[in-house]
Chains A and B, each alone.
Chain A
Amino acid sequence: MTDASISGPAAKPRPNTSGSLLELDKGTRRRNAAEKRFRAYGMAAVGIGLIFLLVLLFTIVRNGVPAFTQTFIELPVTLSEAKLDKSGNRDIEEIKKVTTFGYGGLINSALETTLSDAGIASPFEKASELSKLISSSAAAQIRDYVLTHPDDIGKTVTFEVLASSRVDGYEKGRVTRVALLNDKNLDAEHLDVADQMKEAGVLKRRFNWDFILGADASESRPEQAGIGVSMLGSLFMMLVVLVLSLPIGVAASVYLEEFAPKNWFTDIIEVNISNLAAVPSIVFGILGLAVFIQFIELPQSAPLVGGLVLTLMTLPTIIISTRASLKAVPPSIRDAALGVGASKMQSVFHHVLPLAMPGILTGTILGLAQALGETAPLLLIGMVGYIASNYPDGIASGFLDPNSAMPAQIYEWAKRADPAYYERAWGGIIILLVFLMTMNIIAIILRRRFERRW
């Protein structure tokens, strides 16, 4: 009813009494100045953010990119029958008896021939000194080759073996001659030889797929370490997270949003879900340790357990974003469905859920991305397994086998003493970031693609 009484408003002083519109009065000038200041603050804030982002990206790329290349030495090794297969009957079992130590001599003599072929004079008296140029993985590499190709014994086969991490560091500018004064692993003379080998084209630096696809390696041979196996671990965990958290999260949010009565109990649940999203991830880690490993006695270091813990952590994120996107579906759509005689469930599953889907998927992908980068809970449940052999020979092949995860692997590398591992940690971060960026881009594309107007 609009029959409101009209009380005479008190005459107010008019704001601009000075007259001309062409001149700014005092108040307007002050307001404009305040607005300008505010814009400047905003721009400064955004600018600072951008600068930090650029610094971060620049540092990551500068420190991480060298990890993707590795120095290799071409080595023609004579697979001497006298040393590898004394009886000469090519019996695999007998060949297996020669351990990697037995291959040391072969490598030494191969190095000597390589140097003399290239016309490089060795500054060392003992031939074994030269082998410091080469990664200790070389012997295993040659032995593996011999075991798979026993017929090649007696021939000369050219191998591309990894240079030792110090030589690799020298090639990448990380190791200097001065630094080697205190280093027992390599001497400056080695670097002279390496320089000459590089000129002769025996020593090369090239892209190293094994960093992306390979397994971890021991503390003493960083040149061999790769992130591949932990990538597999992360993949298994993400599968567990996706399979568990998407249905549970969506079911919980649909129930809470569409069906549950609004009372103090659902209010408490709602508040607690929001709180759970803010619980430090390490708390979930210790919960997982207590429940899944100590109580249910699932194996340690298993991607299944990691996935379960990360599911607990991701669920609140998914529930919150799903509920937000369900809320964003206009109630008129629900009314329309109910109005033609659809049941509550039909209205939700035929109309509301499809409309909320882009939001749900975006939330899920972002939740997964968050879970992919999570380290702390994994440390507590032992998802830092040291797996030095790659799939399919390795044991990192299933949901219950010990494994590592990408962020945990990066953390492990960053902890190790050798600076070569430091470089690999940065390289691992680049790979992790590529994954996260891909997931975010997929989320953006999904959102754009399925965005609907109503």
Chain B
Amino acid sequence: MQKRIFIWLSLLTFIFTAFVQLNEKALPPLEKLSDYGFFEGKIADQKPVKGVVPYTLNTPLFTDYAEKLRFVKLPEGQKAVYNEKEVLDFPVGTTIIKTFYYPLDFRKPEKGRQIIETRLLIHEKAGWRALVYVWNDEQTDALLDVAGSIKEVKYTYLDGKKKKHLYGIPNLNQCKGCHNRNEIMSPIGPSARQLSGQLQQEALTYSPASFAGYDPAENQLNAWSKSGILEGLPGKLPVAVVWNNAATGSVEQRAKMWLDINCAHCHRPEGPASTSGLNLSIHNEDPVTYGISKTPVASGRGSGNLMHDIVPGKPSESILIYRMESTDPGVMMPEVGRKTVHVEGVALVKEWILGLK
């Protein structure tokens, strides 16, 4: 009899420990994007279900002209906390969803699009975790891919020219190449300065906001706050600087905003490129570490035979521009996520450097 109780007890203990371990250990990622249930109807339409909130950034990271759809899903009843300088503090259980696609013709979005990949950032107890789902050619679903790959993409751009180039889908390690603060995985985009502004039109067309109480005509931060997913909103919201809209800021403001989102995830003291001593964060007010007349440290042939990162008045003598204009993997910056040159972004930064004294 005693023996039996003992066996039962051990069995119970075993089940209990297994249960606890299961709860503590991150669940294995789901195999298909559709398994998460973020979207309703045809998944390629990317129409979010209730509680999955679309958002747009004022000045997004350049990824080879790919268009992006962004969504965030917070755990039921919980809120993100406002942060003045950095990305908002999202509670454990949050998922940030980003879908990368190319319209077949940028001038006529109604002609359709090719979705390439959807990336997830999931906030687990142990921290943020990145996952990449690659869409099939039929566009019926996307499958988890850890090792990354390179695809060819084709589209007609705004200028009517047909474009064809390679597109790199990152492996999971490459995600952390950028999403990295002191070796801790973290989101990059959704900071107050990036969200402060209306949901942009493309996002509305492709994915109508479905969150209860969400008013797409409002500043996103206000809309989030009113629909109960953001707290701690200050009275005055940050000025929205849109890199390609001259009405939103000076050349310097817009160039620095562009450099912040495209470079500062690595080039900041907590980032993987801290070894270079270059800090392109919007909050850095020291001209030397911002690159002005700064000598390179370990750039190798990335220096392009030039002496300084930024030479005031001389964009063509600035290493920064040289590396932004390159597509050679050993020279170009950023070193991943780009196979083409962001002509318009480069032009903006050049204009800023040209005006520096």
| A and B together in one complex | no
Interface residues of B (CB under 8 A from A): none
